[in-house]
A and B are shown apart, each in its own frame.
Chain A
Amino acid sequence: MVVGDISTGTDVLVIGGGPGGYVAAIRAAQRGLDTTLVEKDDYGGVCLNRGCIPSKALITGADLAHEAGNAEEMGIHADPAVDMAQMVGWKDGIVDRLTGGVEKLCKANGVNLVKGTARFKDENSVRVAHGGEGQGSESIEFDSCIVATGSRPIEIPNFSYADDPVIGSREALDMDTIPERLVVVGAGYIGMELSTVYAKLGTDVTVVEMLDDALPGYEDDVANVVKRRAKELGIEFHFGEGASEWRDSSDGGITVVTETEDGEESTYPADKVLVAVGRSPVTDTLGLDAIDLEPNERGFLETDDYARTDIDHVFAVGDVAGEPMLAHKAFKEGIVAAEVIAGEPAALDYQAVPAAVFTDPEIATVGMTEAEAEEAGFEPVVGQMPFNASGRAMTTGHTEGFCRLVADEDSGFVLGGQIVGPEASELIAEVALAVEMGATLEDVAATIHTHPTLAEVVQEAAENAEDQAIHTLNR
């Protein structure tokens, strides 16, 4: 122990105040456990500060601007001017409110908040280094620990986030001017979301992607709807090309150089280059050596159904505990870890984790695809409803996409669903509920849905799967 060191004890130590961490801390405190939450940065983690919330704020702003300027069909003639600094300021206000809310909730539930970076000393204590020089450090002893350190954007060679024209998702959400030309490296969901935002704000966007297609992990017909729309918005795609370097160009901007597998080079002019090639879990600051805990080859801390690592009293939740890196998965894991520590019979036994991509149109999925269901040994039956057959969709001016339900033909159990189209992120909740509850197609079809709403597409898809659809031709 360092001379003058302060050592405190706690029942539960939570490292990281993101969606996994703060939820775990609050639930642990609600269960009467003395709980300490260590956060090095801002409460709310990536989700609130640099992810879900700020990106959705900007997406909404960009959508509004774009729609207002493209609604002649509805008789609206406008040429909106976007004050980017003001929009970012508005977004920051939302973020501040939310992060402040998280801090208040933690305090109100009796969670001890500590600012700093925690590093394991041994299996029952950490050393927390407070930020900045002369801020000192302290030791905290714990009975149980929940690691919720999250993830950070992956850097690629020659593209350091420290260099001004190279930006990551974080910086992309903080720009107070709209770049004229943007090269986006990576056509995963973050790249696609931000590409759409800037395309709608008037930027010339070029997407380069090493793989053959955008949105890997989504079925072709789902991804294609988004890709088609992206192209309509003027986004240019170059697949099979990896970004190799960037250099200043004579016009005051930069040139991004890409290379194919065969070594063929291309160059794209830009003002900024946004690198969105994925995220990696944060474990390097934890001092895991001290507790003999090793991340797996992909850098994640492996956990069991109780969010427990190989060390019985050390738990891991959220991005650091593995994919999918989604805030709602982290919420659930945080709750389970806290309840398990409190001695309750909690477990991660959900059947499916829904996921949403806030592109235009949105994509949302839950559970199994048809192929996955088949692979799992089901005899899948599929029902589909296109948004262009939905009255409500027509009245919103967004009729791209479809809703698809996958069910087990034998029992009728809904196994999953894929929705690409307006408000897909909201609509998927019904399918998720059906999957979790073990609802059948008949259950979904027989549930009265409000008319006229987009949610009718879910009902129609269920009816279609049963060859009972009224508003579309049955499959």
Chain B
Amino acid sequence: MGVKEFKLPDVGEGVAEGELVSWLVEAGDTVSEDQAVAEVETDKALVEVPSPYNGTVKELLAEEGEIVPVGDVIITFEVEGEGDDASAEKAPEPETEADESGDDESDDDESDDESEAVAGESAEKGADQRAETPKGRVFAAPSARRLARELNVDIQSVDGSGPGGRVTDADVQAAANGQVESGVEETESESDAGPREVSTDEKKSAVSRRDDGQSAANGAAASAEAAGRDRTLAAPATRRMAEEEGIDIDDVPTDETRDGQAFVTPEAITQYAQAQREAREAEVQADAEAAEAGGAESATEAAEDGVAERIPYRGVRRTIGQQMEKSLYTAPHVTHHDTTVVDELVDVRAEYKELAAERDVKLTYMPFVMKAIVAGLREHPILNSTLDESDPDDAEILVRDEYNIGIAVATDAGLMVPVVKNVDEKSILQLSREVNDLASRARDRKVTREEMQGGTFTITNFGAIGGEYATPIINYPETAILGLGGIEKRPVVEESEDGDDVVAKETLPLSLSIDHRVIDGADAAAFTNTVMENLRNPKLLLLE
């Protein structure tokens, strides 16, 4: 029997820490590989942490509710016939995925034992141990080697998945993704001025575990991971299938290539869709259980010093807070208000609502507003921009040529902003379907991180709950956000031959906040005018 340590892995969200929400096992429990042992909530999502071993839980090293940095040992296992992690000499293990991760863990342990200054050394050592090929020779095509240089990946340290262990472009890419994530965390921990507790090596092992997972559970998790490519080859029928499943084909993981480009098959689409559904279900279930546990806890802690409830400021709430704070204190906000008459829009929507219902689509005003916004953005592209301040001395305004509109959704867990991609290319019905799906999944916390990325402009619909005007906070680094009030009958002055009349009209109040560094008030007003014109006359939207 040997004792194996397990560290909080990079849970794939590019975050440095997570809240250990609950333990799903306790000391003495027998666990099997890939069995969930804990639930960890990061600032993005609630995830289950699977056991890398078959064995018995020896000790739980973190309290429920504790914030654990990635890389901290959270649990130890007794594992049949295994040496301790601490022992320097280890018998070679069969090359199963779990065992490989075990190996990596033990490499990390070694580096942990030593001072931080030798982190580089231990990383090298790790590479040496991995390199089974004599003299560190790497078998890879020149193009893969160039890609490694471009992505700043040491190809010697990349495990090859090609024939005979040849390093492929995909392997390099996966290693690079691991490095990027660890890079983010390094920056974060540097800003904390705390010790760097996480070696790059480990990040890689976490990534490869995620990406290369062979077991059923791992496999599902891996294929649920969005690939996020720029370009994907697929047959037209496959593309249609992806569209029907509501899947971005660039996100479907695949090992196949054609002409050097990723190639997705119908099978891959089916698998990915299934994996996504399972992942969402698992999250929902875990979420429900966590909520239950959390509820019980807060009840016992209530009623003290006149405080009804102490709610930890962490997880999603804290992320939202930090994001808001960053946005408001970075971008000088100016909010432009206006109201437009939308009688015709109300009629059109009423008229087509039933038609849409026949196609199982609940038609809301949102797709119309989105189309009107695209019209506005086309005419005033500066509002479809982000501000890249990564180099403070050389910041750049990036005017975007795609129309990805984020929809702020209030959920129990806080504000989520799923993004509808390429709004300009989709029909009102498609948009309706997509918005409804994203919003309901956001509320159920089933929306993935990828689905909340890539926005170029954001809509917040406070009117759905009630209200006319507000000051929306920009979804930084975007530069503009449109807030929608409620569509209601409001008094409107109408000119007629007999003089002015005050009549009741369906009106929509709009609040547009802009980053005044990038956008001028005149642009804001002009953009709002275009949006309003399109909303007043919904037939114009047909042109969009």
- Interface of A toward B, CB cutoff 8 Å: 345-347, 349-351, 376-378, 411-413, 436-438, 440, 443
Contact = CB atoms under 8 A, between A and B. Distances in A.
| B140, B162, B163, most chain A CB atoms within 10 A | B163
A345 B149 contact: yes
A345 B165 contact: no
Contacts of B162: 438
A438 B150 contact: no
B141 interface: yes
A291 to B, nearest CB: 28
B146 A345 contact: yes
B134 interface: yes
Given A376-B137, A377-B134, A436 B142 contact: yes
Contacts of B165: 411
Contacts of B142: 349-350, 436-437
B149 A438 contact: no
Contacts of B306: none
B359 interface: no
Nearest to A351: B137
Contacts of B167: 438
A377 B145 contact: no
A440 B134 contact: no
A350 B140 CA distance: 10
Interface in B149-198: 149-150, 152, 162-167
B134 A438 contact: no
A436 B141 contact: yes
Given A345-B146, A438-B166, 6 more contacts: A349-B142, A377-B135, A412-B164, A413-B166, A437-B141, A438-B140
Contacts of A413: 139, 164, 166
Contacts, number: 39
B139 A376 contact: no
Contacts of B163: 440, 443
A170 to B, nearest CB: 35
A376 B134 contact: yes
A118 to B, nearest CB: 31
Contacts of A436: 141-142
15 contacts: A345-B152, A346-B146, A347-B149, A349-B142, A351-B137, A376-B135, A377-B134, A377-B135, A436-B141, A437-B142, A438-B141, A438-B162, A438-B164, A438-B166, A443-B163
Identify whether the interface residues of A are mostly helix, strand, loop, or mixed. loop
A345 B166 contact: no
Contacts of A351: 137
A135 to B, nearest CB: 43
B84 to A, nearest CB: 30
A345 B137 contact: no
Contacts of A376: 134-135, 137
B179 to A, nearest CB: 14
Contacts of B137: 351, 376
A298 to B, nearest CB: 23
Contacts of B149: 345-347, 349
Interface in B70-128: none
Contacts of B140: 438
A411 B167 CA distance: 13
A438 B139 contact: yes
A437 to B, nearest CB: 5
Contacts of A438: 139-141, 162, 164, 166-167
Contacts of B135: 376-377
A377 B139 CA distance: 15
A350 B145 CA distance: 9
Contacts of A412: 164
Given A411-B164, A438-B140, A349 B145 contact: yes
Contacts of B141: 436-438
Interface string B288-318: 0000000000000000000000000000000
Contacts of A346: 146, 149
Nearest to A436: B142
Nearest to A443: B163
Contacts of B166: 413, 438
State the 8 A-B residue pairs at the shortest beta-carbon distance, nearest first.
Answer: A377-B134, A438-B139, A411-B164, A345-B149, A438-B166, A345-B150, A376-B134, A376-B135
A295 B46 CA distance: 61
Contacts of A378: 134
Nearest to B165: A411
Nearest to A368: B137
A57 to B, nearest CB: 31
Contacts of B146: 345-346
A340 to B, nearest CB: 10
B369 to A, nearest CB: 45
Contacts of A377: 134-135
Nearest to B162: A438
Nearest to A410: B164
A383 B306 CA distance: 86
A411 B166 CA distance: 10
Contacts of A443: 163
A413 B138 CA distance: 11
B294 to A, nearest CB: 48
A260 B366 CA distance: 97
Nearest to B140: A438
A304 B342 CA distance: 69
Nearest to B168: A438
A416 B522 CA distance: 69
Contact of A411 (B139, B145, B150, B152): B139
Nearest to A346: B149
Contacts of B150: 345
B164 to A, nearest CB: 4
Given A345-B150, A376-B137, A377-B134, A440 B164 contact: yes
B143 to A, nearest CB: 9
Interface string B469-508: 0000000000000000000000000000000000000000
A420 B144 CA distance: 31
B462 to A, nearest CB: 48
B305 to A, nearest CB: 60
A443 B139 CA distance: 14
A416 to B, nearest CB: 11
Nearest to A435: B139
Contacts of A349: 142, 145, 149
B35 to A, nearest CB: 35
A440 B163 CA distance: 9
B156 to A, nearest CB: 10
